[in-house]
Chains A and B, each alone.
Chain A
């Protein structure tokens, strides 16, 4: 079983997140691997273990600091790490990013065929959840997204997909792009042995030229959308907190009634 997992470098959820010139501020100080990508790494490792053989690759796209995302994936136990970095990629929209990732996937696939690309269900900075679909279309592979369960058998992958109106079981031939939800598995706590082993593992770095991508086809210039304004929302005003001394329930009710909310 050969699997590639895409991981994203995002600002830590607990940090002060912000925008710089229309893009999410991403720095090494408070950046980390997107938490939901841990589920993708874990799903890939479980499939490899079940198959009894295989290779798991982690791939990230981003500036110098983004290498932290694939280093984290190495610490979680993946075999190989790839970092695609090129100044021309900056400012790409989801379609540009998908183009870059697809080219990198094809490069790995051409060396020896991959069975799956596994991604997280969303990146916790943008939360659009569009990349897995865009990647499946770019690769012209099967799309199996939002999997809360995943099995691979006889050249096909089958997922369980929990949607608000129904639980679906969807099947498709390999190779496939699968996105897994945070219900799919519980990523284990960091393992000291794996963390130590990860230190000596190399990270392969590719630029756009290595992938045969025209720089004009990606980046800010090719983006179909542009952020024209970004500003912090003002804090809520006139906030009240009361400690219950026997009548807080009544105070709460009166607050709602006065505001016409009850």
Chain B
């Protein structure tokens, strides 16, 4: 049976949803083992990893130096020498870790994958490219495969016969990296689900004029996260962490609502693979309408309050 290692992501000490998605995918490829970089996890987190199919939780005790891709890759390598397949969440940092691990092990790498399966003993992955206008299937020909999985592309499902995961401590010989992390200034996470993991994203662009009240209210009603276009973050209306686009966060929620966003290709590249796309824009020629399942040509100040009121009314009724 293929050993499939999954790199655990945590936020405030808790395992993130995309990690459970990766574990779910790992079960379809072989026997999952979770790899935890940092101080040993608390028992409830180990139990949750077991629930999603991790037979083992391998812990490599590393500190802040693991923020450096060189250190993280060495630690991960030490814990996964027996793994034919390595899954991780496709983030900017993990892409760097994957690259280093691949150069150390000869593995083939695909990042930003929307799924993976074993075909004739090799891993094949599915991705969307060119602003999600093309589907691509890639075969990893190397004996070892590393796959970066996009959040929200696999549904996390607990294992049918979950067992207790065994905690295994792994010693790693971590050489001094060239780089030094001088300062780490934590970013206070916005409340609620992070953008990349949210099932619903409501984004505001230039058309908001900088006022996010209605966008936030709609996001609240729909249980979603707030996103923004590059225009809006450049104006300083909302912080960079909210930017949806090719150089910001790529999202694939079940529902994406674009408010006052024209839909430049940079933005579309970060959201075009979403399930249902809704657009509200005053400009009937805005390119966002070309990809919207439901488009409204109208003023945000009229359309959004009415939509919010209607949803509340129907729910109350």
Contact = CB atoms under 8 A, between A and B. Distances in A.
Interface stretch (A47-55, A84-92, A105-113, A165-173): A165-173
A183 B245 CA distance: 13
Contacts of B304: 249
Interface of B: 11, 67-70, 91-93, 95-96, 98-100, 102-103, 106-112, 124, 128-142, 178-187, 189, 194, 200, 221-222, 240-241, 246-247, 249, 254-255, 265-266, 269, 276-278, 280, 284, 289, 291-299, 302-311, 314
A227 B314 CA distance: 48
A142 B277 CA distance: 42
Interface in A230-262: 230-233, 236, 238-244, 247-257, 259, 261-262
Given A137-B103, A225-B108, A249-B296, 8 more contacts: A128-B112, A164-B241, A169-B181, A224-B141, A228-B139, A240-B295, A249-B310, A257-B314
A94 B53 CA distance: 32
Nearest to B140: A225
B124 A166 contact: no
A236 B109 contact: no
13 contacts: A129-B96, A133-B69, A133-B96, A137-B100, A142-B179, A143-B178, A163-B187, A166-B184, A168-B67, A229-B137, A230-B135, A230-B137, A249-B296
Contacts of A145: 69, 96
Size bin of chain A's contact surface: 35 or more
A225 B95 contact: no
Nearest to B266: A13
Nearest to A253: B310
- What 9 A-B pairs are tightest by C-beta distance, nearest first? A249-B306, A244-B298, A224-B108, A253-B310, A241-B295, A169-B183, A229-B137, A249-B307, A133-B99
Contact of B306 (A125, A141, A143, A253): A253
Nearest to B304: A249
Contacts of A129: 92, 95-96, 111
B69 A143 contact: yes
Nearest to B70: A143
Given A145-B96, A248-B303, A250-B307, A231 B134 contact: yes
A125 B277 CA distance: 23
A134 B99 contact: yes
A95 interface: yes
The A interface, classified by DSSP as helix, strand, loop or mixed, is mixed
Contact of A261 (B131, B187, B222): B222
A252 B294 contact: yes
A223 interface: yes
Nearest to A249: B306
A127 interface: yes
Contact of B109 (A130, A158, A256): A130
The B interface, classified by DSSP as helix, strand, loop or mixed, is mixed
A224 B144 CA distance: 10
Nearest to A172: B179
Interface string A7-42: 000000110011100000000000000001000000
Contacts of B96: 129-130, 133, 143, 145
Contacts of A162: 240
Nearest to A231: B135
Nearest to B98: A130
**Which of the listed residues B103, B189, B277 has the most CB atoms from chain A within 10 Å of its own CB?**
B103
Interface string A179-191: 0011100000000
A6 B106 CA distance: 24
A210 B15 CA distance: 50
A114 interface: no
A76 interface: no
A241 B109 contact: no
Contact of B296 (A125, A230, A252): A252
A45 B154 CA distance: 44
Nearest to B310: A253
Contacts of A169: 181-183, 185
Given A133-B100, A242-B297, A227 B133 contact: no
Interface string A120-159: 0110111111100110011001111110000000000010
B138 A239 contact: no
A129 B249 CA distance: 14
